[in-house]
Amino acid sequence: MGKSFIEECEFIKKFKNWKTPNSYDKDYGEIPYSSGVYIITTPIYEFTYDGNAIRIGQDILYIGQTQSLKKRYTGHNYLSILRIVYGYVQFYYKERKTDLGLVEKQMIEEYEPKFNVQYKPI
């Protein structure tokens, strides 16, 4: 597996302060309009062994930055395409007012997501 795959325990440790709209109401009214950085991941890979569900991790598919998290979530083309390809994807975000580009760039370099062609500052 490539750098984009992250084990569940590592993901929880690194992204524990990030939010996901799936934990809010189905209208996603809680997603702020403020700027921030976001990641799109596959669902957690899970399999059953001897009747026990074993969760191993997930792939980070895309990392981005935006001036409006809510607008990006509701109108992101990659989200639509990735939902078709994977059936389900997870959207995590962190509100951030400064250093959006730096955080995005560092994360892209660290994880090399499958669908990030290159880093592009906004």
**pLDDT class of 23 with cuts at 50, 70, 90:** very low
Domain extent listing, the chain: 5-111
Enter the pTM of the model.
0.76
Q: Which CATH class is domain 5-111?
A: alpha beta
Spatial CA neighbour of 121 closest among 97, 109, 106, 104 = 104
pLDDT category of residue 33 using cuts at 50, 70 and 90: confident
Summarised one tens digit per residue, pLDDT across range 85-118 is 877 788 888 888 888 888 888 889 888 888 886 6
CA dist 91 to 19, 44, 53, 76, 94, Å? 8, 12, 23, 11, 10
Whether the CB-CB separation of 79 and 40 falls below 8 Å is answered with: yes
* DSSP conformational letter for 19: B
Tokens standing for residue 116: 């990030």
